[in-house]
Chain A
Amino acid sequence: MDGHVSEASGTRDKPLEAEDRLRKKIKQPRERNYGATSNDVIVVNPAQPPPQDPPHRDRRPTQQEMEEDEEKEILKYGAKHVIKLFVPVTLCMMVVVMTVNSVSFYTVKDVYLIYTPFHETSKDTGVKIWNALANSMILMVVIIIMTVLLILLYKNRCYKIIHGWLIMSSFMLLFLFSYLYLEEVMRAYNIPMDYPTALFIMWNFGVVGMIAIHWQSPLRLQQAYLIFVSALMALVFVKYLPEYTTWVVLGVISIWDLVAVLSPRGPLRILVETAQERNEQIFPALIYSSTVLYSIVGMTTTGTETGNETRRLNENQDASADQAGFNQEWASTTRQRVQQRQIEVQANDQSHPTQYRTVTRPPSDNLTEAQRHQQQMEEEERGIKLGLGDFIFYSVLVGKASSYGDWNTTIACFVAILIGLCLTLLLLAVTRKALPALPISITFGLFFCVTTSVLVKPFTETLAAEQVFI
């Protein structure tokens, strides 16, 4: 990639040192714009050209040309990639909605997260709202603290701790939560199964999952695992968050998303920029990618208390009444989940060095044959990425809406979220930088959820009762 970029700077006549200097100058701003991104970010990999152009007079016109080309290209590939995101988002939502509708375990409220100490048991709506606000504030504070912790860890290069926690958390999701899911589904459909069979299935499922997520596997398999893991996480939220709290959390998290990604001092932005300064791949995060990037996709989370929590988790696993047990565990994944959303992969893996660099590629006459070939590969491979957190929260919204038993609300939320996603992608094509994917979609989703259940539902129910079709 270095060779590539130095060609791009087009300073063949200059001495080598000057070229190096120039390269650095270009590289940094360029990388800021894409590759690594954060918090529920969708990224069309190629983004803006460097804001500070190197002081070379031949460069400017080509730059503009390329920019225009790029815009067209993004639009051209846009529709295809939008669908490539629609399909997994739809699948994830379907898993959640079907589970919520058929497995009553996920709609019964008995156990809560430790981060939501107020259980909304009061009859009074005012108290409930107050409880929900307090709960979501606590959750947000936890999320913010963990994010800051993550940044500190990263700044101090404590990679071992981070990676350890990543593997630990995905291990828990794939084995423990999947087992719980299996158990509840079996119970709901009244299917008997003996423990050896169950353990055999779980072992194989989990191990393949670990390999698929952290190492390598066919792309489809990996995507399937990522979708399933996010659906599981969403189900966890649907079950363990109190009623009103879920809605407030959805609202608050999309605001946090906005701040963390867009504000100049947003924690995720800082994180990403640090990674770029070091010119290294951010520890791989759990993101859904429509392209072949599996070798660098992993899972991330924060937390130094890994060992602590896991131990506590193990001790308390059976005592579901004991809040600290389950809740610690859920909470830890909460954090992990939040972090998953927050980090995007910087895709300058050794094997795909120029994956995200198509925007500022050099004019084609400077290209060698190999580079040209590489460019074509890049164009094939460019894709949009969506943080798994987005999957999770979209599914939470739809799942929660469907738990009230009205299919119209579910469909309305679904369509609204997809349209929100579309708009976000459109904005992405215009602004060309990492964007938070939650705010627009969640706002639309919440709006349609409320209006459908308040206004539309009585109307359609009256119509349906009389069998009038409009």
Chain B
Amino acid sequence: MTVAEFFGCAFLAFGTPLAMFCFTISDSPIKIILLIFSSFLWLLALLISSFIWFIFIPLRDYLIFGVLVSVLIQEGFRYIVYKLLDKTSAGLEELAGNSLVTHNKPVLAYVSGLGFGIISGLFQSLNILADAGSGPGTVGLKSGSDFFFITSATFALCIVLLHTFWNVIFFNGIHHHNKINIIYVVLSHLIFSCITLLNSYQLYGLTLTLSIANVIITMLIAFKTVGGSVMKLKQCIACQ
């Protein structure tokens, strides 16, 4: 059972990102490098926020402080990624050998967003998944919900997708000096994290619904910002 649960949760959380990686990233070396680079920057962001959480000893018990700091620092690093990509675009182009990747801002945003998301999802769910896989044990036998692993995996999937969408919206916002997009991203991130604070009360139904709604809204906005429309989607599906 534990092994089955492990694989189920693992593919729930990382199946979609894996597919995204295989179909959109893995064919281009420069994209892979960008992905790893942005995950590295997310690591730095996490390191800094952990450090701040760590040194403010009296605030350590109030998790909301750590969450707020971390969200803001992550958004700061999103900006840094944009700036870095902007500054090094000439070099990137040479490195890539083709301008298809480097000149296409949404592609850059997507790739680095996925990097942010994947590392974030891994960091927040891999240890739990490993526990699930290593067994033996039954979840919810003594206390806690039976749905612990599956909700955890769903949240990991949400954060991966959200980071990707946020990055697309955010980059677009900076590029076109559209403040609303940037504010939306920060707010959406804050709301998502604050909603998950309710998880400790095991209100999984509520938190999951809200989070998934957040994902869908963000997805639609991201789709819109890169110039998507219903007609184009139809054309795409019909392979026209």
Contacts and interface: CB of A to CB of B under 8 A. Distances in A.
12 contacts: A416-B43, A448-B47, A460-B50, A460-B123, A462-B63, A464-B128, A467-B151, A468-B197, A469-B155, A469-B192, A470-B67, A470-B71
Interface in A59-103: 72, 75-80, 82-83, 86
A408 interface: yes
A78 to B, nearest CB: 5
Interface class of chain A by DSSP: helix
A419 interface: yes
Nearest to B64: A468
Contacts of B43: 412, 415-416, 448
Interface in B111-158: 119-120, 122-124, 126-128, 130, 148, 151-152, 155-156, 158
B124 A470 contact: yes
A407 B121 CA distance: 12
B174 interface: no
Contacts of A467: 148, 151-152, 155, 196, 199-200
Contacts of B197: 466, 468
Contacts, number: 120
A67 to B, nearest CB: 15
Contact of A411 (B30, B37, B53, B126): B126
Contacts of B63: 462-463, 466, 468
A192 B61 CA distance: 51
Given A75-B95, A79-B29, A456-B47, A469 B158 contact: yes
Contacts of A305: none
B159 A416 contact: no
B50 A456 contact: yes
A16 interface: no
Nearest to A444: B40
A75 B91 contact: yes
Contacts of B66: 459, 462-463, 470
Nearest to B31: A79
Nearest to A410: B126
Given A412-B43, A422-B33, A455-B47, 11 more contacts: A75-B95, A408-B127, A419-B40, A422-B37, A459-B54, A459-B66, A469-B156, A469-B192, A469-B193, A470-B66, A470-B120
Contacts of A415: 36, 39-40, 43, 119
B40 A416 contact: yes
B47 A451 contact: yes
Nearest to B69: A470
B212 interface: no
Contacts of B159: 469
Interface of B: 29-30, 32-33, 36-37, 39-40, 43, 46-47, 49-51, 53-54, 63, 66-67, 70-71, 74, 91, 94-97, 119-120, 122-124, 126-128, 130, 148, 151-152, 155-156, 158-159, 192-193, 196-197, 199-200
B29 A82 contact: yes
Given A411-B119, A469-B193, A419 B36 contact: yes
Interface string A431-470: 0000000000000000010011001101111111011111
A72 to B, nearest CB: 6
Given A411-B126, A416-B40, A456-B50, A466 B200 contact: yes
Contacts of A408: 123, 126-127
A417 to B, nearest CB: 10
Closest 4 A-B residue pairs measured CB to CB?
Answer: A467-B199, A79-B29, A459-B50, A83-B29
A406 interface: yes
Interface of A: 72, 75-80, 82-83, 86, 406-408, 411-412, 415-416, 418-419, 422, 448, 451-452, 455-456, 458-464, 466-470
A464 B128 CA distance: 8
Nearest to B155: A469
Given A79-B97, A406-B127, A460-B123, A470 B47 contact: no
Nearest to B61: A462
A415 B45 CA distance: 14
B33 A82 contact: yes
A179 B186 CA distance: 55
Contacts of B46: 456, 459-460
Contact of B94 (A76, A82, A464): A76
A79 B33 contact: yes
B32 A468 contact: no
Contacts of B97: 76-77, 79-80
A459 B39 contact: no
A455 B33 CA distance: 27
A180 to B, nearest CB: 25
Contact of B70 (A422, A466, A470): A470
Contacts of B124: 460, 463-464, 469-470
A448 to B, nearest CB: 7
A407 B200 CA distance: 23
A454 to B, nearest CB: 8
A412 B127 CA distance: 13
Contacts of B199: 466-468
A455 B32 CA distance: 28
Contact of A79 (B71, B96, B127): B96
Nearest to B195: A469
Contacts of A412: 43
A188 B39 CA distance: 34
A83 B40 contact: no
A419 to B, nearest CB: 5
B51 to A, nearest CB: 5
Nearest to B124: A469
Contacts of A422: 33, 36-37
A103 to B, nearest CB: 14
Contacts of B127: 406-408, 460-461, 464
A139 B152 CA distance: 46
A415 B148 CA distance: 28
B96 A411 contact: no
A415 B33 CA distance: 11
A419 B37 contact: yes
Contacts of A411: 119, 122-123, 126
A466 B152 CA distance: 11
A76 B93 CA distance: 9
Contacts of A462: 63, 66
Contacts of B40: 415-416, 419
A122 to B, nearest CB: 30
